[in-house]
Amino acid sequence: MLLNINTMQKILTLLLFTIISCSIQAQIVETEKAMNTGVNTALVLEIPDSDKKIVEKVWKSFAKGFDARVKKIKKSDELLTESPSLAGFSEAGLQNIVVRFEQNGESVEFYSWFELRDQYLNSYNFPDEFDEAQKLLLNFGLEVAKEYTLMELESEEKTLKKMDSDLKRLVKEKESYEKSIEDYKKRIIDAEANIENNLVEQERLNLNIESQGETIEVVKKKLANLNN
């Protein structure tokens, strides 16, 4: 059975999404980690080739999607994501999500603690909710990837814009050079014509000088005859 182009594109997109999802999900780790209220179970998402400032900016934007308000926890490098509205957590009673970003070389380790009604989320007591949390972090990782892709696109577009600007500058320079050449050609033609006129004037003046010399000789002879 032959597939049309749209169907093939959908399949390729789904395949790419699945590959990226598996890659990011493989980097989600459950661990015990110290935070502002003590040592609690955290989900850690490693985001390669990223900067924590960018990741933090994406989280603040991402949290708006589940109606949460993000604020900094005093005397801490953590952020409190208050009262998130997320499907799959109604029974456990999700209260807040505490997050922290740690730069580790060229990667960012994104720590998240899901504060429930009575305790923090863990895979043993809340397997279904834990899966939902992993999906949330997976989607967040994809949002970070989108942000960096947009940044890359903006950078490439900026480079293209500069190239276009350089090309326009070169075209103008060429036009200026061509105009200069035309001006120089005209000046050469004018100079050559001036040389021809100059030679004619020199010839005329030479004849006049010769005639004037003859006139002077005649006057000298006239003066000599008068002296005799």
Average pLDDT over residues 167-187: 94
Which of 179, 55, 39, 38 has its CA nearest to residue 106?
A: 55
- Amino acid 90: pLDDT: 82
Q: Give yes or no for residue 219 having a pLDDT over 50.
A: yes
CA torsion, points 43, 45, 46, 50, in degrees to nearest 10? -130
Query: Phi and psi for 146 in degrees, rounded to 5?
Result: -65, -45
* Cβ atoms 81, 101 nearer than 8 A: no
Residue 207 falls inside a structural domain: no
Which of 47, 44, 30 has its CA nearest to residue 99?
A: 44
d(CA 82, CA 212): 113
Q: Give yes or no for residue 223 having a pLDDT over 90.
A: no
Confidence of residue 6 (pLDDT cuts 50, 70, 90): low
Q: Given phi > 0 = left and psi -120 to 50 = alpha, else beta, which region is 75?
A: left
What CATH number did the domain enclosing 129 receive?
Answer: 3.30.530
Residue 140 falls inside a structural domain: yes
Q: Give yes or no for residue 196 having a pLDDT over 60.
A: yes
- Amino acid 228: pLDDT: 73
36 burial (CB, 10 Å; 0-12 / 13-18 / 19+) is middle
Domain that holds residue 54: 20-155
Residue 191 falls inside a structural domain: no
Please list the residues that pair with 155 across neighbouring strands: none
Q: Give yes or no for residue 7 having a pLDDT over 60.
A: no
Confidence of residue 26 (pLDDT cuts 50, 70, 90): very low
What are the tens digits of pLDDT across the range 90-125? 888 899 999 999 999 999 999 999 999 889 999 999
Buried b (16+ CB within 10 A) or exposed e, 52-79: bebbbebbeebbeeeebebeeeeeeebb
d(CA 89, CA 159): 46
Tally of domains within the chain: 1
- Amino acid 87: pLDDT: 87
Average pLDDT over residues 150-159: 93
Confidence of residue 145 (pLDDT cuts 50, 70, 90): very high
Residue 65 falls inside a structural domain: yes
Q: Give yes or no for residue 24 having a pLDDT over 50.
A: no
- Amino acid 42: pLDDT: 97
170-174-179 Cα angle (round to 5)? 150
d(CA 43, CA 41): 7
Residue 104 falls inside a structural domain: yes
How many of the other CB atoms lie within 10 Å of CB of 147?
17
Confidence of residue 4 (pLDDT cuts 50, 70, 90): low
Q: Give the long-range contacts of residues 46-50, CB within 8 A, separation 24 or more.
A: 46/104, 46/107, 46/108, 46/109, 46/110, 47/107, 47/108, 47/109, 47/110, 47/141, 47/144, 48/106, 48/107, 49/106, 49/107, 49/148, 50/106, 50/107, 50/108, 50/144, 50/148
What are the tens digits of pLDDT across the range 34-91? 999 999 999 999 999 999 999 999 999 999 999 999 999 998 999 999 999 998 888 8
Residue 212 falls inside a structural domain: no
